[in-house]
Structure 1
């Protein structure tokens, strides 16, 4: 059976996930890449080293984001949302955003590639990290979202 996820189910999927794919467009090409994130009920929080996606989102902050939970080919949920990239630059706000992200990723035992260890070191010793090594912390302010699912009628 195919269906549309309720707002509550969309929130549950975003809250339970930790990795999604962000799509950005710089006017010439589209770039889609997986990112670790945390969802606080209002927006997504993520971080990244400066690179192609940060440059593209600074140029065009309108993004698309997608999260899946797949049990099988006939048992899955998927959320797609559209929003706006906002860099978190205020030191206090950045600290709390990073603390929220680290706490969430540690709680779900995210992949080493999520960068939890590096962020944890920066949280413990913020003044010892060279500026050029600090990740860019950002949030996605959600403007629109939709969710779909398929559930096998024979699944228990």
Structure 2
């Protein structure tokens, strides 16, 4: 069965996924790239270095984000959302960093994940890092709940 996700289901997918596909468009060119993110109150928070993605979002802040949870070819959830990019500084950047750190380096994270990021956990950021948020203004979602696992056919020789 294929159907639409409810608002609560859309929020659950956005809040639990870790990777999104960000689509941006500027100067007649479209670019889609995976990003790690954290989600809070209709905002996607992320960080990036200087590059094509940041340049394009600065030129045209209207972006699209796709997030999915895939358990198999017939069992998946997908959310597409549109919003506006904003580069952050000051208190907004500090809040973004806190949201990202809580999402990725919580107590549940492994020692190998937390270990090398000690300075980041205290608020230090690489000097070339740019913190940003995307305010999501429109969201839609779809799902398929088909057969989870079908037995594989046995080859007879």
Q: Per the shorter chain, which TM-score range?
A: 0.7 to 0.9
1:144 counterpart residue number = 138
Structure 1 segments unaligned to the other structure (5+ residues) = none
Larger radius of gyration between Structure 1 and Structure 2: 2
Aligned-residue offset at 1:122? 4.0
**SS at structure 2 position matched to 1:86:** strand
CA contact (8 A) 1:95 1:123 kept: no
More helix by share: 1
Structure 2 segments unaligned to the other structure (5+ residues) = 150-157
Structure 1 stretches of 4+ moved >4 Å: none
**Residues 63 and 130 of structure 1, relative CA distance in 2, 3 Å threshold:** closer
Partner Cα separation in structure 1 for residue 138 and residue 126 of structure 2: 37
**SS at structure 2 position matched to 1:50:** coil
Q: How many residues align?
A: 146
TM-score (norm 2): 0.83
Let me know the Cα RMSD of the aligned residues: 2.5
**SS at structure 1 position matched to 2:55:** helix
Aligned-residue offset at 1:95? 1.3
Aligned-residue offset at 1:124? 2.4
